[in-house]
Amino acid sequence: MIFGPIKLILRILSALMTLVVLYFAITFVQIWLRGHEHSTAKAQAILVYGTTENNGTPSPELTARLNQALTLYREGRAPWIAVTGGRRPGDVYTEAGVSLTYLEDHGVTPSRILEGSGNDTWQNVATVLPLLKKHDLKTVITVTDPFHEYRAMAIASAQGLTPYPSPVPNSPTIKHSLWRYYLKETLEVGVGRVVGYGRLSSWTTTASNAHVPSGT
């Protein structure tokens, strides 16, 4: 008699595990497909998500994103470019500041560049959102790496923007342990859709701050 309830519990746990695996498998496929989708729509702004800079110079990954934004801008796909990204520990320059300088050096009118900040994807959007709203800009072409495109668009949408995908086709990131990036994105998208991307951002920020020594 005692084995009956145990078997039932095991069946329930097995069914739950199957559902979890299926959920994340579908999430992975969605991320993969979105990363290969290139919209031809026009928008009001191009939103460039930040990534690492090298002492005032864009990293190869950031350069690829900025060059993608320049191509879209020169094609007349949007009249504004919004750059994002803050400082990592030990940095002197912000990713957004470096991006702004790079775009100016390549012919973009300074008054057409909006400078945000942020140390994760949610913060990237949140810091530039007031500037977008100030100019009544609601539609954006999101420029980032293919594996990041789904989450980048989801977070932009969650904060009231209408995003269109333009993943970087030639990012140097795709040459290095790409499966790790897709695994990370699958986990973050899967969890973020359940608890909310904003809440997930606050959790990860709190966890990161807990590892920073006081007084730094």
pLDDT in tens, 83-137: 999 998 888 999 999 999 999 999 999 999 999 999 999 999 999 999 999 999 9
What pLDDT does residue 35 have? 95
| DSSP-assigned letter for residue 142 | E
The answer to whether 149 and 39 are in contact (CB under 8 A) is no
Q: Where exactly are the structural domains of the chain?
A: 45-192
**Mean pLDDT computed over 190-198:** 97
- CATH annotation of 45-192: 3.40.50.620
**Residue 22, pLDDT above cutoff 90:** yes
Determine the straight-line distance between the first and last CA of the chain, rounded to whole angstroms: 61
pTM: 0.90
pLDDT tens sequence across 156-193? 999 999 999 999 988 887 777 788 999 999 999 999 99
Phi and psi torsions of 57, nearest 5°? -120, 135
Local confidence band at 215 (pLDDT 50, 70, 90 cut-offs): very low
